[in-house]
Amino acid sequence: MTMLWLPLQEARLSWRDTCSSTCWLCVLGQSYPAEAVAPAAWHSLRGHHRTLRSRTEAEMPPPPGRRHLWLGLVLGSVCASLGSAVPSSKAQDALNVLLIIVDDLRTSLGCYGDKLIRSPNIDQLASHSLLFQNAFAQQAVCAPSRVSFLTGRRPDTTRLYDFNSYWRAHAGNFSTIPQYFKENGYVTMSVGKVFHPGISSNHSDDSPYSWSVPPYHPSSEKYENTKTCKGPDGELHANLLCPVDVADVPEGTLPDKQSTEQAIRLLEKMKTSASPFFLAVGYHKPHIPFRYPKEFQRLYPLENITLAPDPQVPAGLPPVAYNPWMDIRQREDIQALNLSVPYGPIPVDFQRKMRQSYFACVSYLDSQVGQLLSALESLQLANSTIIAFTSDHGWALGEHGEWAKYSNFDVTTRVPLMFYVPGRTVPLPKAGEKLFPYINPLDSVSALMEPGRQAVDLVELVSLFPTLAGLAGLHVPPRCPVPSFHVQLCREGQSLLKHFRFHDSEEDPALPGNPRESIAYSQYPRPADSPQWNSDKPRLEDIKVMGYSIRTIDYRYTVWVGFSPHEFLANFSDIHAGELYFVDSDPLQDHNVYNDTQGGDLLSLAP
């Protein structure tokens, strides 16, 4: 067999046949003759996709003190930015942008059909938004995902698969979403976890490139991993499960509460500004540890908490695909369970407690989002502000015997994604009418709000950059050439603007289209073919295998191939394992048919 060694920037072939009816392959959305890019192996993979597509179309129907000083410095910086800005009349008419990014939030929300979860404020936002039912992250871990969607480039272009490099030094001087808005007259501000802190954002949240003022991080976040959780013994521990009395914790507050308060202060400043603003707010919860106000726990009595529908490790799961959730094993309450490595399992009663605390964190998060949106409206900014809400990736809650992210499964790559565009996704409110009144999740159960408009096409977080630019009336960055390491401003994701072209208010809220023509890509690195201590978060130099995954409306298909971290090369002739799950018959992705009698030889499926 011909060996195929391609630079990853060239090797991101989509295996789809929608670019052309002839022998062409899509490379990051660009069309190239297949013979000019890759030899027979890629033709075979493309043929495999065509075979799967034909099979699914034929067999499956379509699916339905210091703190105050710091604050003064920041607000002073805001004032200085406003004073130095000389906005044009176009800028004065521009829509503001509020980008809300949540850490580790899966689609466990009322607006995504989860009837157990109390998320009334996010559901209320969804009722006035265009909600994407099938949105996927490009890598299910914090830093790579955030750098990917904030630059509009895939991990193979940012060359960030871990937490240990800064893309501007390591890959290319790529523009970011806030940088682009800043260069177009916006005051850009960051609150909480937007970029991942540390090396991957140059220990500065990509300042000064991306932000007009110093990014804000809550002072209390330094206590997140310390012994602040009261255990059954009455002592303080560094636990995974950590419901707290807020009055008893250091500083008497929690990071997300501080972030909401700071974001509201910035909005108050921006209310009188002649310049438009771009405000990104990053919330920590439901990221571990599950440290949240204890009153939210009562929303989820343990007797109402079920286990994951598929809590066992699937029999056909290749070992390379499994993540051993090593980070939660470091928590004191998990260590006390004395679990075996790598597969566990966690005792059933503790599984329920973990799910209970995750759901409680989601409701706590919802309360913060509700307060932020209510303040936006009270400041009379809701009618002039685009709101985008998403997460960096999902989180497994026992599905496939896994806990955490670190995989290519839907449960870790699928994310909530919605856009509120004033006067577009919902009519502007009449005098006295409110779109975002605060709803306390702790109050009695209110009627479930239906989402507004919905799109079922598969979309990617890498599309966030062109979509926000277009919605704000800015020029949409051009598609990236191949390679694009030398290009500062371009995008690898598709713009989603076509989904916002509503003809009239009577149009069906489920937007029409051909979901079978949409594909989402994700990938995940591994240090070996079997679970290791560093399987979840391997450093670049330790990566030996890369799992490339495509998700269509009908199936998820993943190949785990050899990878050279020094040359950033993937060898698609060196296939270590594969996974194939059909969505209609196996929605939870438990039955891998890659090696069955019909699909055992991947290349034999090519016509």
Active site residues: 142, 196
Q: In whole angstroms, how far apart are CA 475 and each of 98, 137, 276, 470, 472?
A: 19, 24, 16, 6, 9
Residue with structure tokens 């039912």? Answer: 133
- Whether omega for the bond prior to residue 289 falls within 30 degrees of 0, making it cis, is yes
> Using CA atoms, how far apart are residues 578 and 557, in angstroms rounded to an integer?
8
Cα separation, 114 vs 303, in Å, equals 17
The number of C-alpha atoms within 13 Å of 269 and in the hemisphere containing its C-beta is 25
Distance CA 303, CA 226 (A): 30
3-state SS string for 260-320:
HHHHHHHHHHHCCCCCCEEEEEEECCCCCCEEEEHHHHHHCCHHHCCCCCCCCCCCCCCHH
Cβ atoms 421, 382 nearer than 8 A: no
Q: Return the closest-CA partner of residue 277 out of 371, 189, 183.
A: 189
With beta carbons less than 8 A apart as the criterion, state whether 409 and 589 touch: yes
Backbone angles phi and psi of 165, in degrees to 5: -150, 155
8 A C-beta contact, residue 401 and residue 311: yes
- Expressed in angstroms, the distance from the first to the final Cα of the chain is 17
Give the C-alpha separation, 432 to 570, whole Å. Answer: 58
- Determine the Cα–Cα distance for residues 266 and 77; give it in Å rounded to an integer: 11
Closest by CA position to 223, among listed 202, 251, 195: 251
DSSP 8-state class, residue 248: G
Please provide residue 27's backbone torsions phi and psi, each rounded to the nearest 5 degrees: -115, 105
H or E element that contains 79: helix 66-84
- CA–CA distance, 498 with 483 (Å, rounded to integer): 27
Q: Residues 387, 377: contact at Cβ < 8 Å?
A: no
DSSP-derived secondary structure for 414-460: EE-EEEE-BTTTBPPPPTT--S-----TTSSPPPPPPPSEEEEEEEE
Six-digit token pair at 191?
């609150």
Which of the 8 DSSP states describes residue 476?
P
Q: How far apart are CA 257 and CA 263, in angstroms?
A: 10
Number of residues that this document lists for the chain: 607
